[in-house]
Amino acid sequence: MRGFILFFLVLLVAGFGYWYWKVPKFSDGELAPDFTSTRPDGSSMTLSDYRGDYVLLDFWGSWCLPCRKENPQLVQLHKKYKEARFQDASAFTMVSVAIEMNPKAWKAAIAKDGLAWPNHVSTVSRFKDPVAQLYGVREIPTKYLIGPQGNVLSVNQSVAEIDAFLAGKRKH
């Protein structure tokens, strides 16, 4: 019986440790840290340039099957809100941070999946990417919805939940 209890406790501690390890670094209401990173064409992009907009910060990878399966939903979200205006924000912007090792695979996945927004960034250093480390990203896909004032509104909501939120904020 003691062996079973010990096994159960070890399993419980391991489960809690895994959950704690993968929990996002920032939560709702906290100020999203600013960063500058590099687009595929070599130009730079700074998050604070989009202050005043809703920003979906999406961490993904060309090698990540769940990410690639979600990309068509993100494409639809972008199409729906790229020209939208909101009650409390100027616009909606998507920023994709690629957790990559291969720049060719990254660029090919952007093209193949039709990820038409301009803000794709990566240092092509997998989870050692400075933006991924800044945001505590340890698994992908990971999404942060950032509000017009630069605060985190939600972490890891589904695309449908983000769509519903934006629909409620849209000017009619």
- Return the pLDDT at 20: 46
pTM: 0.84
Q: Domain count of the chain?
A: 1
Domain that holds residue 74: 25-169
| 66-73 CB contacts, 8 Å cutoff, 24+ apart | 66/140, 66/141, 67/140, 67/141, 68/109, 68/113, 70/141, 70/159, 71/113, 71/114, 71/115, 72/113, 73/159, 73/160
Is 102 within the bounds of a domain?
Answer: yes
Q: Is residue 122 part of a domain?
A: yes
Cβ burial of 21 (10 Å; 0-12, 13-18, 19+) is exposed
Look-up: residue for tokens 């989870």? 127
Assign residue 151 the CATH number of its domain: 3.40.30.10
Domain membership flag for residue 73: yes
pLDDT of residue 6: 60
Residue 108 placed within a domain: yes
pLDDT in tens, the chain (172 residues): 776 666 555 555 544 444 444 456 566 778 999 999 999 999 999 999 999 999 999 999 999 999 999 999 999 999 999 999 998 888 999 999 999 999 999 999 999 999 999 999 998 899 999 999 999 998 999 999 999 999 999 999 999 999 999 999 988 6
2 within a domain of the structure (yes/no): no
